[in-house]
Structure 1
Amino acid sequence: MGALGSGRRWILRYGDTAADRGHGAGDSSSRRSREFGHRDGAGVGGRLVRRARYGHLGGRDRAAAGDATLHAARAAGRGARATPGVEEPAPGIRCWRRRLTMPFHLVPARDRKLFRLVKRGEVVRLVKGRSLYAAGSIAKNVYLVQTGVIRLVLPGMEKGRSERTVSVALPWELFGDEAFTAGHRRYAAIAGSTCTVVTLSTASVLSGLKTAKKSLDAYLEGVERELHRLRHAQGGSRGPTAAQRLAEVLLDLSARCGEPAGRGVHLSVKLTHQVLADLAGAHRATVTTLLNDWLYDGVLAMADGFLQIRRPQDVWVLAGYHLPEPGSDG
């Protein structure tokens, strides 16, 4: 999910319909206050929230929201997006962790053959900003992150941006699988933090996947869900808003590196606002504003520099999904 195209204003508009124009959408300052600065009505959990952030629940051009809209969306699912990759009603919160895991995540108890390769593999330690390989280089090996974060980057599309992050590899996730086809690297791999990476033989990994059905199924499922996520996140007049995309990025991270923290989830990795903006396909200023709003509203929290999702169900609503009623089997 790359950044939005160049030449965009720093304000991400939620819509420009006749109704918007009637409410001052033609004026940049009034549009800015309506989208990011105006407090109008109670929000999730009874707190004051930004007015237009929740407009996506009923469509991109809905002008107002509050507790009634959010509760109606939870109960009836009006205007909510379809569950990714499935046609049946959205499952309960307990199922989402499994459904959202995108890349292949090595589980020693399941992937015993691959885990033996990891224990024998060559360990590479990188400091933040150090390049592991460049785009266009010959793909010889597959890699697995043991600690830290690896950013997969492409050249930047905006003036002054030399690169943009299109994906991240987190602890115990496989990356660099272009080597399976003996091709060239599609992306550059750069350490997003001080990290440890294990180099794996391509032939050995392929052999391990071919002879371990559960591992192969998990790998193929990860590829399929990654492809669906990228297609699902495409913008446009009927695509998700910046707030929806950012909320979905946070949900994806919580499924991949989240640790239970009371009723919430603690994200065990640190990502800059710019990286989150790249992953959400938004401008950094937009992401900073949204995060500050959600921190103020108590949906998110900070603990020693790490993000915490204090109210995961509210993040699902922010992402535009319908949540089943409490006590339902869905």
Structure 2
Amino acid sequence: MKFSVFTASTPEWTPSQAAETLAAQGWDGIEWRIVDDRPAGGAPVPATRSFWAGNESTWQFTGIEDHVGDIARITDGAGLEYSGIGGYQQASNRDGVDTMLRVTSELGARQVRVSMPVYRAEKERTGETYAQIFDRTRVDLEWAVSRATELGVKALVELHHMTITPSASAALRLVDGLDPEHVGVIHDLGNLVIEGQEDHLAAFELLGPYLAHAHVKNARWVDTGDTRADGSSIWQNEWAPLRTGQASVSEYLDALRQVGYDGWVTVEDFSTDLPLEARTADNLAYLKSLVPVSA
């Protein structure tokens, strides 16, 4: 297995700082986040940066084609590989998806995430049922796969809570029958703590050739102390360090090994217990302690 970091989780670093620091720590690769995440209207970015807004390691989607050379220079200069590209373009936005596929091809990054609809939000916006949203997303994905095939890259569907593909079973329904050389699934350990949990080994066996990528983060459910009108407790999810969340990273990696997975494991740790540099260094040390030297 090879280990990389998704730059959604490195908001304090510029792209150069992210690449240089991760390379120095011994990471094999990097997964660049590409999305427009600056405040609307040119408003200043808050001093306290979040992972998802004002993230310094993010390449802005608008004008991204003009920065392919910069991305390549920084990545190659640090001696890092691409584990893939963290895109945010909705499957229904064919122009946006096409741009991301072309950028991925130009970089030689091989694979890029295509975002799936958030079920409740889409239902509220369109009035469609899950089945209707699913069916039209399948048509959009078929188009994306045809373009990915032309460009020699792979479109990725992530297992993500709140979307129409929170589980391996749901994702398989969406991609089944399409060419696994050009479409695959990102299995995400932390997201599944929130929604979509299935036995990992069963999920990997179910996905078969569509298991294209693995994201590793961790999460936990906590009692808020509040109650509903009926008196029942209200729980909420929060991100947690790899070592202390509810999911077992060691069991997850072991299940990946059992199905012969030897691809990328990309960390996107959104916990803040440790400072960023210490967090990424500790995560790599932890992952390497769990993987046999021969793996």
- TM-score > 0.5, shorter chain as reference: no
Higher relative contact order (CA 8 A, sep 6+): 1
TM-score under structure 2 length normalisation:
0.27
**Larger Rg computed on CA atoms:** 1
